Amino acid sequence: TATVGGPYGEKASGPGVDFSYVGIDAILEQMRRKAMKQGFELNIMVVGQSGLGKSTLMNTLFKSKVSRKSVQATAQEKIPKTIEIKSISHDIEEKGVRMKLTVIDTPGFGDQINNENCWRPIMKFINDQYEAYLQEEININRKKRIPDSRVHCCIYFIPPTGHCLRPLDVEFMRRLSKVVNIVPVIAKADTLTLEERDFFKKKIREELRANGIDVYPQKEFDEDAEDRMINEKIREMIPFAVVGSDQEYQVNGRRLLGRKTKWGTIEVENIAHCEFAYLRDLLIRTHMQNIKDITSSIHYEMYRVRRLNENNTVVAHANGMPEHHLAAHEM
Amino acid sequence: STLWFVAGEGARAVPLAGHVGFDSMPDQLVNKSVNHGFCFNILCVGETGLGKSTLMDTLFNTKFEGEPTQHNQPGVTLKSNTYELQESNVRLKLTVVNTVGFGDQINKEDSYKSIVEFIDAQFEAYLQEELKIKRTLHSYHDTRIHACLYFIAPTGHSLKSLDLVTMKKLDSKVNIIPIVAKSDAISKSELAKFKIKITSELVSNGVQIYQFPTDDESVAEINSTMNSHLPFAVVGSTEEVKIGNKMVKARQYPWGTVQVENENHCDFVKLREMLIRVNMEDLREQTHTRHYELYRRCKLEEMGFKDTDPDSKPFSLQETYEAKRNEFMGELQKKEEEMRQMFVQRVKEKEAELKEAEKELHEKFDRLKKLHQDEKKKVEDKRKSLDDELNMFKQKKTAAELLQNQAQQAGGSTTLKRDKERKK
């Protein structure tokens, strides 16, 4: 290996004095510029029974009305008879960084009396997105940038029973963790005391381990020692106990997002109160790129391998073609 | 049954009520790339002696090892070397490919071919990886050529036809950045005319050289200025000379010193700026989204794939590619077998011919031998009869002599008698 730097050592500052500086590291700036120009895409799915605060959490995470409910205000929210998959996209921008955020809601999940196979439509949706991407990828004339509708992350809402996971939870996570990054959260965690919360979390982690369920961040995808160290800390904390709110209250002279009750105000972004901030940091501020990478280089590749090894004639129509995307609008 | 609802392409713009934090995304992306390292591949095309290796050394501030190339190559070969460079936290895997023997041949008609083949081979390797079932694209060492520096000899007149032909063949496959090499051989005024001539020749021959991109406002201005300075007139040097109180890269002549990094002396700084500091990422992107896509499209179409056929199942691309490849291999093997058979056949025939000839020769030999023996016998016989005759003659002679002697003894008188009789 050759270290660029010449006999005069590190890069000297000022113009005309950079005889030892090549400028290779300028590529970082070039990449940043390109990324800013292109913008980013993020597709998050929320899964859980109704009433667990999924929509509110989405709004809280993105500090904006991005949930389906906010977009499609209906007079009364009926629980649908079957599971529906509803996907809504938003363009958001922060400090010059543009993002196309798609929130995929799954109303009806876990709400029926008989919830057998309720993961099926969700599994199908996820696979359909992989299929759509694959179709585009193998075209002869393909787009410069293949639109990415693959589900990067699936937030699974666990009801705050305080005891253990329900069979439905185990079944869903067991199946889906094989095709998508699952981030389990304890919903409406303000109904648990800290001790109850810790006990519940420990129980959940045990059950996940016992059932061989690998949630994000998956141990096997840690890239190096540094990664492993960071991710171990996260793995010791999941599932995050979250509280969502899009209402602001005055607390100690500041306006904060929170839930106001007679016995006090729960501050959503206060880590002493709940773990929302950890979830937000994980999903958005530190691991967003990693979540997308795992989706594209592992989950998608696995899907692709499976597809390529299958017999063509059987699956030609089973998983749908791109036309599906502009299906019926809900009235 | 499940219902889908998608808001469609026109996602609505939504204002944020506070700091969310996804503005860290570019940083997250950059960090991931830093951990991964970068790849950059440069192809240097030009005749021997135009300073290609020196320019690379100068650009990257290091001495890439390598022996000076030979001039006795039968064709143009491409020599590729990969180096690991590091600057602050950026690790770069740089590959420099040199055209060895370019322009050395008497007949240069096929010179461009090995270059095109090389570029295509890198595309092919990537395509193969992309089409594999189990693939590792994110850890694949990308060898596709991102930039082609075309070295133009500093004649001062115009482009050589070899240059035009080669660049025309390469312009749809790679980003071409033409440079005037060893430009300290040309005076400033000649250089200006030379550049104009080169540019107009490129335009009139429809050669598409790489244009520095002007769509991003932060670099649009500098890029469009630089576009007008093409081709860059460069001078390379790794030797340092003291100018004032600094050591600078320069070439020292008795009449003065050409400073490589002095923009009044040559365009080296411009080249470095454009190639590395401003557009390296764009060069990589264009290679992938334009040149590679074109190659892929052509290759797949050549193999008979079409997009529009709904029955052409997705995987037939993969499978048919494999099938076609196997077919091709099968054909190749068949041909090879045929050729082998033919060869064996020919050998047999030749052998038979030779045997035949040998046989004939033997027969001839036998015939001649017999002839010879016959002749010999005849001669022997003749000799024998001659000998016999001789013997007989000898005998007769001896007998005759004897008789004569006897006759003489008795006949001396006879002769006298005869003579007396005659005298009477």
Contacts of A67 (CB under 8 A, 6+ apart): A54, A55, A56, A58, A59, A88, A103, A105
pLDDT at B413 over 70: no
Among A78-82, A115-119, B280-284, B340-344, which is the least confidently predicted range? A78-82
pLDDT tens digits along A256-276 = 888 888 888 888 888 888 899
Give the number of other Cβ atoms within 10 Å of residue B69's Cβ. Answer: 19
Q: Which residue has the higher pLDDT, A69 or B366?
A: B366
Angle between helices B314-423 and B111-131 (to 10 degrees): 140
Could you write out the three-class secondary structure of chain B? CCCEEECCCCCEECCCCCCCCHHHHHHHHHHHHHHHCEEEEEEEECCCCCCHHHHHHHHCCCCCCCCCCCCCCCCCEEEEEEEEEEECCEEEEEEEEEEECCCCCCCCCCHHHHHHHHHHHHHHHHHHHHHCCCCCHHHCCCCCCCEEEEEECCCCCCCCHHHHHHHHHHCCCCCEEEEECCHHHCCHHHHHHHHHHHHHHHHHCCCCCCCCCCCCHHHHHHHHHHHCCCCEECCCCCCEEEECCEEEEEEEECCEEEECCCCCCCCHHHHHHHHHHHCHHHHHHHHHHHHHHHHHHHHHHHCCCCCCCCCCCHHHHHHHHHHHHHHHHHHHHHHHHHHHHHHHHHHHHHHHHHHHHHHHHHHHHHHHHHHHHHHHHHHHHHHHHHHHHHHHHHHHHHHHHHHHHHHHHHHHHHHHHHHHHHHC
Contact predicate B126/B289, CB 8 Å:
no
pLDDT tens digits along A8-23 = 333 333 344 445 788 8
Give the tokens for residue B8.
């469609």
Strand partners, A308: none
Among A226-235, A253-262, B68-77, B277-286, which is the least confidently predicted range? B68-77
- Which contiguous run of DSSP H or E holds residue A38? helix A26-38
CA dihedral of A319, A320, A324, A327, whole degrees rounded to 10: -70
pLDDT at B364 over 90: yes
Q: What are the angstrom distances between the C-alpha of B306 and each of B66, B104, B319, B325?
A: 46, 43, 14, 17
- Cβ separation B2–A125 shorter than 8 A: yes
Percentage above 90 pLDDT, chain B: 63
pLDDT at B68: 66
Contact predicate A280/B21, CB 8 Å:
yes
Confidence band of B5 (pLDDT split at 50, 70, 90): very low
Q: Which residue has the higher pLDDT, A109 or B9?
A: A109
- Cβ separation B279–A30 shorter than 8 A: yes
pLDDT at B4: 34
pLDDT at B61: 87
Alpha carbons B84 and B94: distance in angstroms, whole number = 6
pLDDT at B312 over 90: no
Contact predicate B52/B151, CB 8 Å:
yes
pLDDT at A180 over 50: yes
pLDDT at B1: 26
Q: Which residue has the higher pLDDT, A321 or B33?
A: B33
Among A101-110, A135-144, A306-315, B134-143, which is the least confidently predicted range? A306-315
pLDDT at B301: 87
Give the end-to-end CA distance of chain A in Å, rounded to a whole number: 64
Q: Is B252 on the interface with A (CB under 8 A)?
A: no
Q: Is B297 on the interface with A (CB under 8 A)?
A: yes
Q: Give the number of C-alpha atoms closer than 13 A to the C-alpha of residue A37, restricted to the C-beta side.
A: 12
Give the tokens for residue A152.
């990067």
Q: What are the angstrom distances between the C-alpha of B44 and each of A204, B97, B150, B272, B380?
A: 60, 6, 6, 15, 88
Q: Is B285 on the interface with A (CB under 8 A)?
A: yes
Contact list in A for residue B85 (CB cut-off 8 A) is 1-4, 22, 24
Give the tokens for residue A67.
């949930």
Q: Is B239 on the interface with A (CB under 8 A)?
A: no
Among B55-64, B105-114, B174-183, B304-313, which is the least confidently predicted range? B304-313
Among A59-63, A184-188, B310-314, which is the least confidently predicted range? B310-314
pLDDT at A177 over 90: yes
- pTM score of the predicted model: 0.77
Please, which residues 128-147 of chain B have a Cβ atom closer than 8 Å to chain A?
A: 133-135, 137-138
How do B12-13 and A85-94 pair as beta strands?
Answer: parallel
Confidence band of B69 (pLDDT split at 50, 70, 90): low
Confidence band of A76 (pLDDT split at 50, 70, 90): low
Alpha carbons B271 and A23: distance in angstroms, whole number = 12
Contact predicate A160/A199, CB 8 Å:
no
- Cβ separation B7–A87 shorter than 8 A: yes
CB pairs under 8 A between A and B: 263
Minimum Cα–Cα distance from A19: chain B residue: B248
pLDDT at A111: 86
State the average pLDDT over residues A294-305.
95
Contacts of A42 (CB under 8 A, 6+ apart): A99, A100, A101, A102, A152, A288, A292, B22
Contact predicate B79/B100, CB 8 Å:
yes
pLDDT at A5 over 70: no
pLDDT at B311: 47
Give the tokens for residue A13.
């500052």
pLDDT at B298: 93
Q: Is B61 on the interface with A (CB under 8 A)?
A: yes
pLDDT at A300: 96
Cis peptide, bond prior to residue B310, ω within 30 of zero: no
Q: Is B60 on the interface with A (CB under 8 A)?
A: yes
Alpha carbons A274 and B107: distance in angstroms, whole number = 79
Give the number of other Cβ atoms within 10 Å of residue B323's Cβ. Answer: 12
Contact predicate B79/B25, CB 8 Å:
no
Contact list in B for residue A132 (CB cut-off 8 A) is none
CA dihedral of B193, B194, B197, B198, whole degrees rounded to 10: -150
Give the number of other Cβ atoms within 10 Å of residue B305's Cβ. Answer: 19
pLDDT at A316: 36
- Cβ separation B4–A327 shorter than 8 A: yes
pLDDT tens digits along A86-122 = 899 999 999 989 999 999 999 888 888 888 888 999 9
State the average pLDDT over residues A302-317.
67
Confidence band of A318 (pLDDT split at 50, 70, 90): very low
pLDDT at B400 over 80: yes
A200 min Cα distance to partner chain B (Å): 29
Among A76-80, B35-39, B82-86, which is the least confidently predicted range? A76-80
Contacts of A59 (CB under 8 A, 6+ apart): A65, A66, A67, A70, A244, A246
Alpha carbons B144 and A255: distance in angstroms, whole number = 55
Contact list in A for residue B32 (CB cut-off 8 A) is 289-290, 293
- Cβ separation B33–A28 shorter than 8 A: yes
pLDDT at A205 over 90: yes
